[in-house]
Chains A and B, each alone.
Chain A
Amino acid sequence: MDLHILDHRLRVTSIAKNGLVHFTHPLIKLIFLRNRTRCKFFSLTETPENYTVVLDEEGFKELPPSEHLQVESSIWLPLNVVSNGNASSSSQAVGVTKIAKSVIAPLAQQHVSVFMLSTYQTDFILVRENDLSVVVSSLEEEFNIYKEVGGESVPLNCQDVSNGLQKNGKEAIQPTVHPVLIPKNQFCVMSLDPDTLPSIATILIDVLFYSSSPKEETHSSSSQDCIEFFSFSLIDGYVSLVMDTEAQRRFPADLLFTSSSGELWRMVRIGGHPLGFDECGIVAQISQPLADSDISAYYISTFSFDHALVPEEDIGSVTDMLQHQRTEPATS
């Protein structure tokens, strides 16, 4: 298996809901006017609390400083696992489940905090630039590690990064078990031809920026059970969308595309209060049991909470499993 350290230097930011008005211009530019910016990595996720924006330094320059903008201080680097064609695993599962044992667990053991970002195309594991040496040294046994420099993949020699295993220096904290929330909406993970973005521009703007308009309010009678969640990402020219079926119905059906099986997903939101960026092992906590039962999962971290998406048909067993974990914490 290959692990690629991608050539993006990312910032994780959050825009407060009431401050969105100050950022509509740069956001529209980043989403729709690809040729006007040099931003290559852009992800915008709307949650009830705020908008989480993950973007590279080029894109970050577009955002004006504001009291409504919260910025995580570190530079994050995206990692991507490429499984070689012939090393096909027996598992049919997709998403974080595939990398739970090989990447997530070792990093959790080394107390490396990770920020997950699943898209239609792949899963990005964001780690802090400072943690890179630890990441490399803890994963180099399992992976061929490549660093992408200017579009070329360069094999990374571990000596280049660190001179041996170096502890993170953080206290080994027994992971706390976070409360989970399982909203009722069904989600779909989709993609789109970037060339057709202009034709859905108005719908997309409406969904992204006017989700809390009064019209919507009246409609959500069962709002306690449903969560407001929409994720858009445009990374290296690939568009990925995560939305609930409600939002999906507003788009012309033939423009968005997804897997031929067209499966639907349920969400597990992790965290009772904002999780912060320092705690590690949160992803592992969820992905480990899913991997044990070979259940596919997408995982999207945001500024405040983490979100796992699991297949609709498996939500029952996942609920049971998490319930079980609560009662018998931290066995793994």
Chain B
Amino acid sequence: MSGSKPDILWSPHQPDRFVICDSELGLYRIGPVGSAETKAGTLPLSEESAATLLAINSDTPYMKCVAWYPKHEPECLLAVGQANGRVVLTSLGQSHNSSCKDLVGKEFVPKHARQCNTLAWNPVDSNLLAAGLDKHRADFSVLIWDISSKYSPEASVAAEKIRLSSVDLDSSTVVTKPLYELGQNDACLSLCWLLRDPKLLLAGMHRNLAIFDLRNTSQKTFVNTKAIQGVTVDPHFHDRVASFFEGQVAIWDLRKFEKPVLTLTEQPKPLTKVAWCPTRTGLLATLTRDSNIIRLYDMQHTPTPIGDETEPTIIERSVHPCESQIGSFAWHPSSQNRMVVVSAANRAMTDFTVFERISLAWSTTTSLMWACGRHLYDCVEEGAEGVESMIEKDIATKMRQRAQSRYGHDTIQVWRNHVLAGGNDPQLKSLWHDLFYMKQCAEDMELKLQGNKQSVVYSGIKNIVKTSSGTTESRRCWSGSDRQTDVPRYHSEERCLALRLCGWISRGPEIDMEAFLRSLEQEREWERAAAVALFNLDIRRAIQILNKGATAEKGDLNLNVVAMALSGYTDEKSSLWREMCSSLRLQLKNPYLCVMFAFLTSEPGAYDGVLYESSVAVRDRVAFACMFLNDAQLPRYIDKLTNDMKEAGNLEGMLLTGLTKDGVDLMESYVNRTGDVQTASFCMLKGSPGEVLKDPRVQCWIENYRNLLDAWRFWHKRAEFDIHRGKLDPTSKPLAQVFVSCNFCGKSISYSCSAMPHQGRGFSQYGVSGSPTKSKVTSCPGCRKPLPRCALCLMNMGTPVSNCPGTGKSDEKVDLTRENKLAQFNNWFTWCHNCRHGGHAGHMLSWFRDHTECPVSACTCKCMQLDTTGNLVPSDSS
């Protein structure tokens, strides 16, 4: 203060009033900018708020510090500490209010004049006002005045003696006898009353922090430190105190007062103010000299340090409330994270709210949650049902839905998996058809050929055509006409296999496409069917298909026009038909119609118009290439296409790469693009070759998918997946890790059980007699001592659960139904790892449905609550 440096105080009880003090005191009211009629004197503080000057008080010159009376009444009573050590009570904007009339103007004068550095009202006993003064010889530097005290007779005597004072003192308002005198022979720079006990006063003295106890003023607790300025108690944590020295803030814990619990990073410039946020725990704001930023230290997540050396983490950040240099700031007492900042130079004020850091978390089920201040926002993906949203659903949502629809688990009709996936993803459709054809071919070969061919099927067309040998060339007639074509077609065993993998032809030595064409017609893919028929050199069939398409329900009549155009085909090199078709075909919207004319107008062996038409399915282009490209062109084309597919991560390319390392590369770029580890996992599991499954990328996808299922609490799905995986990759099966051993001989019961031939292996590894009907293993197979008893039914373990539904005599003969499986689980051993009591799983489960404590009497173990996962419920139902 002292004329240059302003300070701000918020009214402790009126949330819209504050006082700015520099050379005088100014009382302001803050309000929304629009509400009140914008008077001439209104100062804008921010976009929303403005301040109105209510009153000015310039009665007290040479102010060093100001403190606002903490109680409701009298409302606007301020104590002002002056440069000569006097403390004056004054008021602002009060009409002659009787309640504080006798207080206003009262002065408290120390014996020896020296600067008053700080003032602090006792928050409980609000008559007490502590003043911290500079050092004067052996005098006291902390004086606690009782504002209600009447003037003392000595005071008038003292006043008489004052010859140097220019102020005419009305002796009735001057108090010279403090209630308490503390801190002899010392200087006091800062003060605050401790909130944990209103009789305790913390003072920043010259080179030490001291706690004075008013009940015993001869004693003080003190710690030597340089950080003695601006002591302030955390309003949310009454044992935490901040103080500073030059550029460094020290945080103290009064319970461990020997040294600071932490010191904040030192600032190059000296600090001028340090204040705890009253509306948020553990937030400390600091201001340094000549600065336009306020530094905030968030000790929100600070546990009290355990060891001496561990320094808890603090989040430090700065806010920049205004452009000019900040003179002072003050937190609003009740508005969240709000402060008013006053500039050093021109008293310009800024109303500022510190924006809370946002913390954000994704749930496992694609919803997003973030917290800001005291608000919590939940963001859920839209368009889960109802209108098909424009935005594609998140892959996590898709995977979750697909997991629920048992995607990937159809191992017979493999192609059906794309239907389980929703049936609207062309790449998945292509992928699962590829896998289906591969499986078909592989099974087929297994029947008639030696085993090694199987791996060929899965190695992809790229590898198949490389091994192609003995290609024959034929020139066939257009079927239905005698005209010889000059289009050469190539045949070989490998090309034939490739066509099968493409799905164009089915099993058998003949290249018969009729079945394929019929299936396409069934799916109303007229254009594609026509193109396939044409590539099969059956122009008549193509026209027939187009006609059918035009006449079919909701058919496109234009197909007739196309059929007409097609029927005019001539192989004359320079005919008008050829010329028009090659130019007009580009205007056809359907890629298959387009490639049909491209094929007809191309020179033999130069089919770029067909091969590089990217809208045509890869399998059709590859099949076409296998029929019409020679041994030199074909591998080149396939290689190029493979690389394109790999780069794009297009699953259609899986046809070319197969389940090889190339395929993993392709899948990698697909996963990188989509994040779909689910498809990647299921697809790669089909690749029986060990080296593909051993690839660390594949293992990573599989593990991630399993984790994902766990995170969704799809435990049954994960179990299913593990079973599925175990079938396809036997090396992934985990070994038994838990055995039940006999209390007496220490041998594993399960080991003995599994030795019995009639025991079901799956259950025996958990140490349970697998089939309750046949045998009762109630004693250790090793030493014949009885097994422990179930705490509930008091039967020896190994005795089947009797009174559970689904295990009645009638059911026992029935095959393993689902109930029966559950019933078997009811027989399992379970026990608490804490109290070691237990029994039949079924009994235990039903007991803990209604109880929290262990069923064994006199055991108070809360077994079920100790099981952290025991209270979780799977979110998949099966």
Write the residues of chain A forming the contact surface with B, with a CB cutoff of 8 angstroms: 82-86, 88, 94-95, 98, 120-123, 151-153, 188, 191, 193, 195-196, 238, 248, 253-264
**Is there a chain A Cβ closer than 8 Å to B165's Cβ?**
yes
Minimal beta-carbon separation of A243 from chain B (angstroms):
12
CB-defined A-B contacts under 8 Å, sample of 14: A82-B185, A84-B184, A121-B114, A193-B2, A193-B84, A253-B166, A254-B61, A255-B83, A256-B164, A258-B164, A261-B111, A261-B158, A261-B161, A262-B164
Partner of A196, one of B2, B114, B136, B184: B2
A121 and B112 CA atoms in complex are apart in Å by 10
Q: With a 10 A CB-CB cut-off, give which of A95, A261, A264 has the most chain B CB atoms.
A: A261
**Is there a chain A Cβ closer than 8 Å to B224's Cβ?**
yes
Minimal beta-carbon separation of A209 from chain B (angstroms):
25
Minimal beta-carbon separation of B28 from chain A (angstroms):
25
Known contacts: A85-B183, A152-B207, A152-B224. The answer to whether A257 contacts B113 by CB under 8 A is yes
Minimal beta-carbon separation of A240 from chain B (angstroms):
10
Minimal beta-carbon separation of B233 from chain A (angstroms):
24
Partner of A238, one of B61, B135, B164, B224: B135
List B contacts of A248 (CB < 8 A).
164
**Is there a chain A Cβ closer than 8 Å to B64's Cβ?**
yes
Known contacts: A196-B2, A262-B161. The answer to whether A257 contacts B83 by CB under 8 A is yes
B184 touches A85 (CB 8 A): yes
A83 and B161 CA atoms in complex are apart in Å by 28
**Is there a chain A Cβ closer than 8 Å to B668's Cβ?**
no
B111 closest partner in A (C-beta): A260
Write the residues of chain B forming the contact surface with A, with a CB cutoff of 8 angstroms: 2-4, 61-62, 64, 83-85, 109-115, 134-138, 140, 158, 161-167, 176, 182-186, 207, 218, 224, 226
Partner of A83, one of B164, B165, B184: B184
- Give 4 A-B pairs besides A188-B164, A196-B62 with Cβ atoms closer than 8 angstroms: A121-B114, A122-B137, A257-B83, A260-B161
B112 touches A259 (CB 8 A): yes
Minimal beta-carbon separation of B271 from chain A (angstroms):
16
A195 and B23 CA atoms in complex are apart in Å by 13
List A contacts of B140 (CB < 8 A).
85
Known contacts: A254-B166, A257-B85, A262-B162. The answer to whether A151 contacts B112 by CB under 8 A is no
Known contacts: A152-B207, A152-B226, A238-B135. The answer to whether A257 contacts B2 by CB under 8 A is no
Minimal beta-carbon separation of A156 from chain B (angstroms):
15
Partner of A153, one of B3, B109, B207: B207
Minimal beta-carbon separation of B567 from chain A (angstroms):
102
Minimal beta-carbon separation of A149 from chain B (angstroms):
12
B220 closest partner in A (C-beta): A85
A242 and B531 CA atoms in complex are apart in Å by 115
Main secondary structure of the interface of A (DSSP, over half): loop
Minimal beta-carbon separation of A269 from chain B (angstroms):
23
Minimal beta-carbon separation of B519 from chain A (angstroms):
92
List A contacts of B112 (CB < 8 A).
258-260
B5 closest partner in A (C-beta): A195
Minimal beta-carbon separation of A152 from chain B (angstroms):
7
Q: With a 10 A CB-CB cut-off, give which of A248, A255, A260 has the most chain B CB atoms.
A: A260
A144 and B140 CA atoms in complex are apart in Å by 21
Known contacts: A153-B207, A254-B166. The answer to whether A121 contacts B134 by CB under 8 A is yes
Minimal beta-carbon separation of B191 from chain A (angstroms):
17
B162 touches A254 (CB 8 A): no
Partner of B165, one of A84, A153, A262: A262
A121 touches B135 (CB 8 A): yes
A216 and B62 CA atoms in complex are apart in Å by 32
B138 touches A260 (CB 8 A): no
B185 touches A84 (CB 8 A): yes
Minimal beta-carbon separation of A97 from chain B (angstroms):
11
A98 touches B138 (CB 8 A): yes
B224 touches A153 (CB 8 A): yes
Minimal beta-carbon separation of B780 from chain A (angstroms):
74
A260 and B175 CA atoms in complex are apart in Å by 12
List A contacts of B134 (CB < 8 A).
121, 238
A257 and B62 CA atoms in complex are apart in Å by 12
A268 and B586 CA atoms in complex are apart in Å by 120
Known contacts: A195-B2, A196-B62, A253-B166. The answer to whether A260 contacts B136 by CB under 8 A is no
Known contacts: A152-B224, A254-B62. The answer to whether A121 contacts B136 by CB under 8 A is yes
Q: With a 10 A CB-CB cut-off, give which of A151, A253, A257 has the most chain B CB atoms.
A: A257
List B contacts of A253 (CB < 8 A).
164-166
List A contacts of B163 (CB < 8 A).
262, 264
List B contacts of A191 (CB < 8 A).
113-114
B183 closest partner in A (C-beta): A85
Minimal beta-carbon separation of B412 from chain A (angstroms):
84
A263 and B166 CA atoms in complex are apart in Å by 15
Minimal beta-carbon separation of A8 from chain B (angstroms):
15
A120 and B137 CA atoms in complex are apart in Å by 8
B135 closest partner in A (C-beta): A121
Partner of B137, one of A121, A151, A153: A121
List B contacts of A257 (CB < 8 A).
83-85, 113-114
B135 touches A258 (CB 8 A): no
List B contacts of A193 (CB < 8 A).
2, 62, 64, 83-84, 115
A113 and B322 CA atoms in complex are apart in Å by 59
A86 and B161 CA atoms in complex are apart in Å by 28
List B contacts of A122 (CB < 8 A).
135, 137
List A contacts of B135 (CB < 8 A).
121-122, 238
List B contacts of A255 (CB < 8 A).
62, 83
List A contacts of B207 (CB < 8 A).
151-153
B184 touches A259 (CB 8 A): no
A248 and B4 CA atoms in complex are apart in Å by 26
B111 touches A259 (CB 8 A): yes
Partner of B136, one of A85, A95, A120, A188: A120
B161 closest partner in A (C-beta): A261
User: What are the 4 closest A-B residue pairs judged by CB atoms, nearest first?
Assistant: A257-B113, A85-B184, A253-B166, A257-B84
A263 and B112 CA atoms in complex are apart in Å by 11
Minimal beta-carbon separation of A38 from chain B (angstroms):
14
List B contacts of A123 (CB < 8 A).
137
Minimal beta-carbon separation of B89 from chain A (angstroms):
18
A76 and B134 CA atoms in complex are apart in Å by 26
Partner of A94, one of B84, B113, B137: B137
A254 and B167 CA atoms in complex are apart in Å by 8
List B contacts of A195 (CB < 8 A).
2-4, 83
Q: With a 10 A CB-CB cut-off, give which of B4, B137, B224 has the most chain A CB atoms.
A: B137
Minimal beta-carbon separation of B468 from chain A (angstroms):
88
A83 and B432 CA atoms in complex are apart in Å by 94
A264 and B114 CA atoms in complex are apart in Å by 17
A83 and B83 CA atoms in complex are apart in Å by 25
Minimal beta-carbon separation of A126 from chain B (angstroms):
18
List A contacts of B136 (CB < 8 A).
120-121, 259
B155 closest partner in A (C-beta): A260
List A contacts of B164 (CB < 8 A).
188, 248, 253, 256, 258, 262
